[in-house]
Structure 1
Amino acid sequence: MSGIFSTSRLFNKTALITGASGGIGAATAILFARAGANVIVAARRKEQLSVVAEGCRKANKEGGTGQGGRVVEVVLDVADRRGVDGIFDKLPADFRKIDILVNNAGLVYGTDHVGDINETESDTMFNTNVMGMIHLTQIFVRHFKQNNAGHIIQLGSVAGREGYAGGSIYCATKHALHGFTVALMKELVNTPIRVTEVQPGMVETSFSVTRFRGDADKAKSVYKGIQPLVAEDVAEDIVWAASRKEHINVAEIFVLPVNQASPNIAYRSDQ
């Protein structure tokens, strides 16, 4: 890992990661801390945030940077606009200048086809994956413009590049995120603010357990016969993009397991 982050570019930078209580968000927070960044871990699950925060502190010590590595926990539901509006009030004064926003919070429910979709679940996906993301990003665009610096990193998906049966709502949310992100980068082209979208394919986390409404066996079957990405793989891409020189913007990273070519094309060893 040290070879990826061999410079001091992230030392004492402050990164806020949403959806940081587990999976890609937690792995990203820990890797930022290892690289010497200060980290704000934000998520709905308060009890899990403490575990992640401790992981960040441990990683910073192991990283041996000697700088940064401070951690703040913030209970935040990105779909709650009032809570999002008060984000800076929840932070200590010395954490209110943020350099990097990682919009990682997101979820998916079900594999239902159109006509059978649960509209409450559909609303939850859009409110979290799209509307919450947009609202938080607007706040941070203003913050970054005031500071004349900043980096917005979006967690997209292969589902934002290509639709697939049984994923219509999730694909729609990630297509929306992609379109928003491309437009945002163009709007900010006359500023030093960077915009990156990371688009992973199969990643084995608790994300699939949520999709199958708590059925861990069904979630596990998604990865049968293939070695998927894990949360740390995607975290490396996120933190690598953030650690580039300030004049470099990594606009898009599309990352797949070696045996996956699209949402529906994958080679499995049992085939």
Structure 2
Amino acid sequence: MKKQALITGATSGIGRATALRLAALGYDIVATGRRAERLDELAAEIARTGGSCRTLCFDVRSDAECARFLEPLERIDVLVNNAGLAAGLEHIDCGDTADWDAMIDTNVKGLLYVTRIVARKMRSAGSGHIVNLGSIAGTEPYENGAVYCASKHAVHAISQAMRADLLAAGIKVTEIRPGMVETEFSLVRFHGDRAKADSTYAGVTPLTGADIAEAIAWAVQLPPHMNVNDMVLMPAQQAGAYYTHRKK
């Protein structure tokens, strides 16, 4: 029986790249997201290479929708909690509460809603691997990013506690914490402002979604007795949230 991987936020960036990479490894893919057309495109691409991809179009911010779409799944061997976003980049006194709600509801609550359902299935099976997409912002808060950083601090803490909670159940937990990755991340953060989004990566060769997918693929292929608790991935030109060498 082929293993099955559930990937949230699979319509773009890291999630999409991870779905393609794990499909190439022979996993049956369950891809979730809010954009049905993009999910269909992903499924078609995987099918063209001989793989299998089931799509579930729903919003992880809804506990009821998570239950409706995920409870019927019989088995999940790998869960990649990728759905997440940054919204806005301003001082705390100028923040938009709608942006705050979107980040907290997706990055924290959505991860929890999905994990609660899938972890029960893994516990019943006696094995599984949960991969949470964190960020260097989960340990390095920066100016103008208070709420996003707080949400990723939460992912970091949840991942560590989750590892302890699920240890006796034989379920692995890995947190991937990237630095600068060029996806739709900055375009979403700046509400569609392409010039601002592009300036984020000026003078830098950032990581790509495929780079992160490769790291996830490596982690989930390790022997049963070996687990990666925490992996930090950075562009060669970045040493931290405040240290980036930009070439002119």
Superposed pair shares fold, TM > 0.5: yes
Question: Tell me, which stretches of 5 or more residues in structure 1 are unaligned?
Answer: 1-10, 62-68
The Cα RMSD (Å) is: 1.2
Q: Is the 8 A contact 1:57 1:71 kept in 2?
A: yes
Q: Which residue of 2 aligns with 1:155?
A: 133
SS of 1:115 mapped into structure 2: helix
Q: Deviations over 1:94-150 (max 9, x none)?
A: xx2110110000011111111011111101110110011111111111111111111
Q: Which residue of 1 aligns with 2:211?
A: 233
Tell me the CA shift for residue 187 of structure 1. 1.6
Distance 1:114 1:122 in 2: 10
Normalised TM-score (structure 2): 0.97
Q: Deviations over 1:33-57 (max 9, x none)?
A: 1111100110011010011112222
Aligned partner of 2:68 among 55, 61, 86: 86
Residue 178 of structure 1 pairs with residue 168 of structure 2: no
Q: Which residue of 1 aligns with 2:173?
A: 195
Query: Displaced runs of 4+ in structure 1, greater than 6 A?
Result: none
Distance 1:75 1:228 in 2: 30
Distance 2:124 2:72 in 1: 19
Q: Is the 8 A contact 1:31 1:56 kept in 2?
A: no
Tell me the CA shift for residue 159 of structure 1. 0.6
Q: Write out aligned runs for 1:60-209 (5 A).
A: 60-61=49-50, 69-88=51-70, 96-209=74-187
Q: Is the 8 A contact 2:43 2:52 kept in 1?
A: no
Q: Is the 8 A contact 1:74 1:90 kept in 2?
A: no
Tell me the CA shift for residue 88 of structure 1. 3.3
Tell me the CA shift for residue 199 of structure 1. 0.5
Q: Which amino acid aligns with 2:101?
A: D
Q: Deviations over 1:172-223 (max 9, x none)?
A: 0000010011011012222210000000000001111000000111101100
Q: Is the 8 A contact 1:33 1:57 kept in 2?
A: no
SS of 1:20 mapped into structure 2: coil
Residue 18 of structure 1 pairs with residue 12 of structure 2: no
Distance 2:116 2:37 in 1: 28
Distance 2:123 2:23 in 1: 25
Distance 2:134 2:47 in 1: 27
Residue 257 of structure 1 pairs with residue 247 of structure 2: no
Q: Which residue of 2 aligns with 1:247?
A: 225
Distance 2:70 2:64 in 1: 12
Distance 1:228 1:261 in 2: 12
Percent identical among aligned pairs is 40
